[in-house]
């Protein structure tokens, strides 16, 4: 392109010289300016910033982290730079997951693991993040492409697989337990798993993996009518798991019977998805960097701008075996937890007597004691706060039925049964 533009300039010069009438000179000079401008544009290849060794708080326009490190100077976050030690796995790189990944990338997260099996389509362009020229690429590869340009400091791993299949699940579990990024870390290889998938089946799979690995995770979701969403913190054994109770959804207030579903599966809005991604990553930052209150459940009803909250205890009769094991461990660890809490309280008390935090309360603001709200029993729907409903019913009480033996299938041999079905298929 640059060569052709150069030739064009030369030809314009020749043309100018060959013209007997100088009245056309200004037009030719204008054309030449345009070509020169185009040449400059062609020369300016995309700028890639180099990696940064340490996060600096220095306020210069070349420092990508100055505004983030300011959080530390202002006393909001004690140690922002710790963010580089953390690994976050994002399952589902769609309308919520991709935006969450971008936010964490811009925040300078240490490592991101991205999971999706889907490709970028033009039909995704009503959402944020992916660009039309990425259509046809896998979402994970397209995300790595964009994210590594935004912040080359982040270690990115892309997994193009379906976690609900037996094989995909195995790879998923193995990747979560890989500790090569931070070998000293306790537990699994990641600090948090973010579920940004769009269906109940995949959420149940993330729940299964996290219960088995004793891995804290956060759930997120946007309703199929695109007008509500939620985020939820799940700590195996400590809070309700995703299988402890039927999934909760934020009631949009729209009557399900009046919802017209003919010809469509699901709607989506970049706004609702962006809000939910923002809530999810805000909760993630608070959880990782230990500031503010980490919400156990936060709903978003966009039609009423209503944000219901709640907490859920685990269900001692949960159908998930790994959940029951984590519950048992959590109860066994209670004495140690109590001792640690007491020690912390004493330490805090002694430090407050040394320097009272809000001595000069000149505004006379009384701070209401933030006692822990009642934690709801995960099973009963009567206990649900206003604006939340169960999306699915619980399984009916399961009585083992006498096996209904069809006369032709008296056999109990797998190979025989397979042959019988094949015979019918033939």
Partner 1 sequence: MEGWDPNTKTTLTQIPLLSTKAGPRDGAAWTQRLKEEYKSLIAYTQMNKSKDNDWFRISAANPEGTRWTGKCWYVHNLLKYEFDLQFDIPVTYPSTAPEIELPELDGKTHKMYRGGKICLTVHFKPLWAKNCPRFGIAHALCLGLAPWLAAEVPILVDSGMIKHKDDAASSSES
Q: Decide: is 397 part of the binding site for partner 1 (CB under 8 A).
A: no
CA distance 42 to 2: 7
Nearer to partner 1, 88 or 323 (CB): 323
Nearer to partner 1, 157 or 198 (CB): 198
Q: How many residues bind partner 1 (CB under 8 A)?
A: 46
Nearer to Zn ion, 29 or 391 (CB): 391
Least separation in angstroms between residue 401's CB and partner 1 is: 6
Q: What b/e readout covers 140-171, taking b as 16+ CB neighbours within 10 angstroms?
A: bbbbbebbeeebbbbebbbbbbbbbeeebbee
Q: Decide: is 378 part of the binding site for partner 1 (CB under 8 A).
A: no
Q: What sign for the dihedral angle of Cα 127, 130, 136, 138?
A: negative
The residue from 182, 210, 241, 265 that is catalytic is: 265
- Residue of the chain from 45, 74, 265, 336 that contacts partner 1 (CB under 8 A): 265
Q: Decide: is 381 part of the binding site for partner 1 (CB under 8 A).
A: no
- Residue of the chain from 256, 329, 338, 346 that contacts partner 1 (CB under 8 A): 256
Q: Decide: is 305 part of the binding site for partner 1 (CB under 8 A).
A: no
Tally the C-alpha atoms within 13 A of residue 275's C-alpha that lie toward its C-beta: 19
Query: What residue 323 binds from partner 1, Zn ion, none (CB within 5 to 8 A, per partner kind)?
Result: Zn ion
CA distances to 111, 115, 208, 223 from 121, rounded to whole Å, are 26, 17, 29, 21
CA distance 53 to 43: 29
Stretch that binds partner 1, among 4-12, 27-35, 261-269, 362-370 (CB under 8 A): 261-269
What torsion do the CA atoms of 5, 6, 11, 12 make, to the nearest 10 degrees?
70
Establish whether 265 is a catalytic residue: yes
- Residue of the chain from 71, 204, 269, 275 that contacts partner 1 (CB under 8 A): 204
CA distance 286 to 76: 10
DSSP label at residue 47: P
Cα 111 to chain centroid, rounded: 13
Q: Decide: is 263 part of the binding site for partner 1 (CB under 8 A).
A: yes
Residues 312-331 that bind Zn ion (CB under 5 A): 318, 320, 323
Nearer to Zn ion, 143 or 210 (CB): 210
* Dihedrals phi, psi of 372, to nearest 5 degrees: -65, 125
* Cβ proximity of 403 and 269 under 8 Å: no
Stretch that binds partner 1, among 9-17, 104-112, 255-263, 286-294 (CB under 8 A): 255-263
Q: Decide: is 77 part of the binding site for Zn ion (CB under 5 A).
A: no
Nearer to Zn ion, 101 or 323 (CB): 323
* Cβ proximity of 149 and 48 under 8 Å: yes
Q: Decide: is 398 part of the binding site for partner 1 (CB under 8 A).
A: yes
DSSP label at residue 183: T
Place of tokens 């709801």: 376
Q: How many residues bind Zn ion (CB under 5 A)?
A: 6
Encoding tokens for residue 128? 């944020």
DSSP label at residue 119: B
- Residue of the chain from 200, 291, 307, 330 that contacts partner 1 (CB under 8 A): 200
Q: Decide: is 372 part of the binding site for partner 1 (CB under 8 A).
A: no
Please name which of 278, 266, 196 lies closest in space to residue 227, comparing C-alpha atoms: 266
Our CA angle for 350, 351, 352, nearest 5°, is 95
CB atoms within 10 A of CB 298: 21
Q: Decide: is 169 part of the binding site for partner 1 (CB under 8 A).
A: yes
Active-site residue list = 265
Q: Give me the residues that bind partner 1 (CB under 8 A), please.
A: 117-119, 121, 162, 164-166, 169, 199-201, 204-205, 207-208, 243, 246, 256, 261, 263-265, 319, 392-396, 398, 400-401, 403-404, 406, 408-409, 412, 414, 417-418, 420-422, 424-425
């Amino acid at each position: 392109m640059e060569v052709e533009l150069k030739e064009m300039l030369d030809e314009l010069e020749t043309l100018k010289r060959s013209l007997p009438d100088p009245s056309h000179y200004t037009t030719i000079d204008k054309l030449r300016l345009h070509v020169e401008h185009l040449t400059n544009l062609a020369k300016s290849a995309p700028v890639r910033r180099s990696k940064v060794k340490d996060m600096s708080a220095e306020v210069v326009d070349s420092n990508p982290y100055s505004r983030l490190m300011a959080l530390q100077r202002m006393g909001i976050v004690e140690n922002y730079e710790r963010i580089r030690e953390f690994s976050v796995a994002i399952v589902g790189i769609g309308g919520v997951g991709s935006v969450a990944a971008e936010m964490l990338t811009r925040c300078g997260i240490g490592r991101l693991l991205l999971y999706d099996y889907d490709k970028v389509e033009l039909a995704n362009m009503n959402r944020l993040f992916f660009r039309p020229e990425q259509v046809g690429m896998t979402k994970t590869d397209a995300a790595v492409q964009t994210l590594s340009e935004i912040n080359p400091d982040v270690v990115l791993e892309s997994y193009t697989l379906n976690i609900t299949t037996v094989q995909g699940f195995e790879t998923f579990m193995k990747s979560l337990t890989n500790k090569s990024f931070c070998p000293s870390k306790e537990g699994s290889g990641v600090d948090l798993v973010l579920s940004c998938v769009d269906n109940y089946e995949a959420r149940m799979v993330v729940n299964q993996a996290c219960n088995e690995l004793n891995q804290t995770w956060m759930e997120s979701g946007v309703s199929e009518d695109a007008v509500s969403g939620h985020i939820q913190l799940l700590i195996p054994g400590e809070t309700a798991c995703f299988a402890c109770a039927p999934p909760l959804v934020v009631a949009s207030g729209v009557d399900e019977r009046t919802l017209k579903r003919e010809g469509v599966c699901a709607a989506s809005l970049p706004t609702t998805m962006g809000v939910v991604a923002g809530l999810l990553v805000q909760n993630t930052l608070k959880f990782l960097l230990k500031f503010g209150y980490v919400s156990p459940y936060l709903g978003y009803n966009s039609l009423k701008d209503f944000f219901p909250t709640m907490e859920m205890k685990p269900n001692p009769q949960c159908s998930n075996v790994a959940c029951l094991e984590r519950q048992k461990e959590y109860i066994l660890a209670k004495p140690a937890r109590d001792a640690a809490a007491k020690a912390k309280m004493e330490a805090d008390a002694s430090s407050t007597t040394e320097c009272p935090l809000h001595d000069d309360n000149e505004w006379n603001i009384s701070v209401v004691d933030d006692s822990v709200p009642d934690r709801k029993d995960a099973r009963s729907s009567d206990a649900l706060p206003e604006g939340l409903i169960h999306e699915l019913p619980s399984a009916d009480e399961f009585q083992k039925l006498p096996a209904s033996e069809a006369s032709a299938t008296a056999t109990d041999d797998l190979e025989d049964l397979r042959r019988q079905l094949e015979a019918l298929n033939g």
